[in-house]
Amino acid sequence: MKQLKLTGFVIFFFFLTESLTLPTQPQDVDDVRITQKFIDDNIGYITIIAFAQYIQEASFEEVEMLVKAMTEYRDKCLADRTFPECSKLANEVLLENICAMEGLPQKYNFSHCCHKVDFERRLCFFHNKKADIGLLPPLPTLDPEEKCQTYKNNRESFLNNYVYEVSRRNPFVFAPTLLTVAARFEEMTKTCCEEQEKANCFQTKAEPFIYYLKALSSYQKNACRALMKFGRQILQSINIAILSQKFPKIGFKQLTSLLEDVSSKYDGCCEGDVVQCIRGRSKVMSHICSKQDSISSKIKDCCEKKIPERGECIIYSNKDDRPNDLSLREAKFIESDNVCEKRDADQANFMAEFLYEYSRRHPELSTPELLRIAKVYKDLLKECCNMENPPECYRHAENRFNETTEKSLKIVQRECEHFQNLGKDDLKYHYLINLTKLAPQLSTEELTFLGKEMVMALTTCCTLSEEFACVDNLVDLVLGELCGINENRNINPAVDHCCKTNFAFRRSCFESLEADKTYVPPSTSQGLFTFHADLCQAHNEELQRKKDRFLVNLVKLKPELAGEELWSLLADFTNVVEKCCKAQEPEACFKEESPKLAAKSQAA
């Protein structure tokens, strides 16, 4: 059950993160004053996150200079808020300070953003973020003993550096999530530095919150991608589906009110306005707990907890019980004679209410599937309401809904069959080959990441009774990662079409894709078949990464090869490594065997 709750919290957590040093007293309403105190107390972390996400290449020393400037700004305004600059939005002041840092805009190529103002400036900085972090140096790793000594000697600098490194590598993750990760990192550091087996402790305790960060990163990027590329209406639909499933007893008017608070924070969070994002999150939490009697029976104990624990409690709480008086279907959308008139009176509100009613009745469905059903219903009404007898037409809507879900279910079943029939490594190779054939223009790092994410989704979900919703939700996030968030992301015409045409049906669109016909492979092997004795020093995990990269680069070089031929060449690569690493002269062995493998690939 723990894995299921993890997948559930991935989808729901987006609304509810609380973090770090928020006040610890129990309370009913997280008011503006308390939120502002949190922001003032954490101005250092907030500045680091914003700067490191906007300008990922900036050094830690440059970030520290901005922290100093923003801390002075905070102290000045706390002493006297009548200064003109104190009336500005915090993010506006932050961007002004970044642009004012001597030589920095030219050094990191963001001068064009500094010439813009207001929304245009914020959007420019947002589009300056880079999802591919290959431009950054490898994440620094410290020996556990050294890590503990550094923490003991200078806690503040140690944690600041950690927040900086994580933020620049996760440019689209929302600030409250990064602050939560920082708090957990410090808890882990305190605990593990007291242990004898420090290395083992760090490894064991780091895994859950690394997964937590990756999961939240995928979901937040997906939500912002929906907003940026498809507009507010799609994002609103996602929110309706998620909240209606989590809180099935909430009334539609109450949901509409909650959605106003939820929606108001997206601009800040998605643009990277750290302060507005934190304020928006706090407002949503306050709304839920202040109206808990009409929202959910499962969160009473959660809302009585201290604020740092409150969000976690709500996230891990079960979906609320289905109300006893909730019928299996809402007749007014299918059996009423005046459906078309109601739709025409206020189409946006009518479709929102349909999605709400359908979602709260179907907790077993995924968020993408609920959006598909809503799209099918909308298209059906467009067709039926132009007919002579609309009711006779739309009374068969349930059949259309069931057909749509059946198609989605077959896709999930096919993927879970792959999971059952292939081992974990072979499953990954299956997806590495397929993904690389679909989108060979992506970097090797991106493709290996996407392959691993597909395996994680199926490993997590395919043994659960709630298999369909779990797989469909998580695989949709992987496709979101593939599509990317920035407007300048272009892969190839077929993939771009699936990414941009229809948010709800992109899964089935990808299912119908074949290998990219526009791709021109490199003219040379670019060292793909040149192996050295250093392969023998690679640990299992590192060797596995090299095998993954070899396979992806092989597909890029030979996209015309069938899966069986690619698998055969991968097996040959594995055999060469095993043979040569056992040889007395590994380097000589590799020099002899590498050309043979290259020749075999040419002959294939």
397-442 confidence digits (pLDDT tens): 999 999 999 999 999 999 999 999 998 889 999 999 999 999 999 9
Residue 270 confidence (pLDDT) above 90 = no
Question: pLDDT for 169-212, tens place per residue?
Answer: 999 998 888 888 888 899 999 999 999 898 889 888 888 878 88
559 CB-near residues (< 8 Å, 6+ apart): 436, 437, 440, 515, 516, 519, 521
What average pLDDT score do residues 80-103 get?
88
Bigger pLDDT: 140 vs 164: 164
Q: What is the pTM of this model?
A: 0.87
Tokens of 81: 């808020």
Give the residue numbers of the binding site: 273
Residue 451: pLDDT over 90: yes
Q: Of 11-15, 16-20, 139-143, 195-199, give the range with the top mean pLDDT.
A: 195-199
Q: How many CB atoms lie within 10 A of CB 152?
A: 11
Distance from C-alpha of 3 to C-alpha of 320, rounded to nearest angstrom: 19
pLDDT at 355 over 60: yes
* Averaged pLDDT, 147-151: 92
pLDDT for 315 equals 61
- pLDDT at residue 191 in the model: 93
Q: Name which residue leads in pLDDT, 561 or 11.
A: 561
pLDDT > 90 in the chain, percent: 52
The pLDDT score that the predictor gives to residue 16 is 40
Judge contact between 357 and 389, C-beta under 8 A. Answer: no
The b/e string for 481-510 (b: 16+ C-beta within 10 A; e otherwise) is bbbbbbeebebbebbeebbeebbbbbbbbb
Residue 307's pLDDT band (cuts 50, 70, 90): low
Contact in structure between 431 and 452 (CB atoms under 8 Å): no
pLDDT at 4: 38
566: left (phi over 0), alpha (psi -120 to 50) or beta: alpha
Q: Is the pLDDT of residue 19 over 70?
A: no
Q: How confident is the model at residue 31 (pLDDT cuts 50, 70, 90)?
A: low
The tokens describing 432, both together, are: 């590495």
Query: What element of type H or E holds 588?
Result: helix 586-603
pLDDT score for 137: 78
Q: Which residues are annotated as a binding site for Zn(2+)?
A: 273
When computed from its CA atoms, the radius of gyration of the chain, rounded to whole angstroms, is 26
pLDDT at 328 exceeding the cut of 70? yes
Q: What is the tens place of the pLDDT at every residue in 59-89?
A: 999 999 999 988 888 888 888 888 888 888 8
- Hey, what domains does the chain have and what are their CATH numbers? 229-318 (1.10.246.10), 413-512 (1.10.246.10), 533-603 (1.10.246.10)
Report yes or no: 559 and 437 within 8 Å, Cβ to Cβ: yes
465 or 308, which is more confident: 465
Q: Give pLDDT, residue 207.
A: 82
- Rounded to an integer, the average pLDDT of 347-376 is 96
> Residues of 265-274 as b/e, b for ≥16 C-beta within 10 angstroms?
bbbbbbbbbb
pLDDT, position 25 = 38
Alpha-carbon distance of 257 to 242, in angstroms, equals: 15
User: What would the two tokens of residue 543 be?
Assistant: 């060797």
What pLDDT score was predicted for residue 166?
92
Across 297-327, b (16+ Cβ under 10 Å) vs e yields ebbeebbebebbebbbbbbebeebeeeeeee
What spatial distance separates the first Cα and last Cα of the chain, rounded to whole Å? 46
Whether 319 contacts 248, CB under 8 Å: yes
Helix residue ranges per DSSP H, 502-562: 506-511, 540-557
Cβ 184 vs Cβ 209: under 8 Å? yes
Interatomic CA distance for residues 498 and 526, integer angstroms: 31
DSSP secondary structure letters along 481-519: HHH-SSTT----HHHHHHHHH-STTHHHHHHT--S-SS-
* Residue 219 neighbours by CB under 8 Å, 6+ apart: 10, 11, 13, 14, 477
- Per-residue model confidence (pLDDT) at position 27: 39
Three-state DSSP string of 7-45: HHHHHHHHHCCCCCCCCCCCCCCCCHHHHHHHHHHCHHH
Q: For tokens 């500045």, name the residue.
A: 47
Please report the pLDDT score of residue 516 as a whole number.
Answer: 93
Q: Residue 12's pLDDT is what?
A: 46
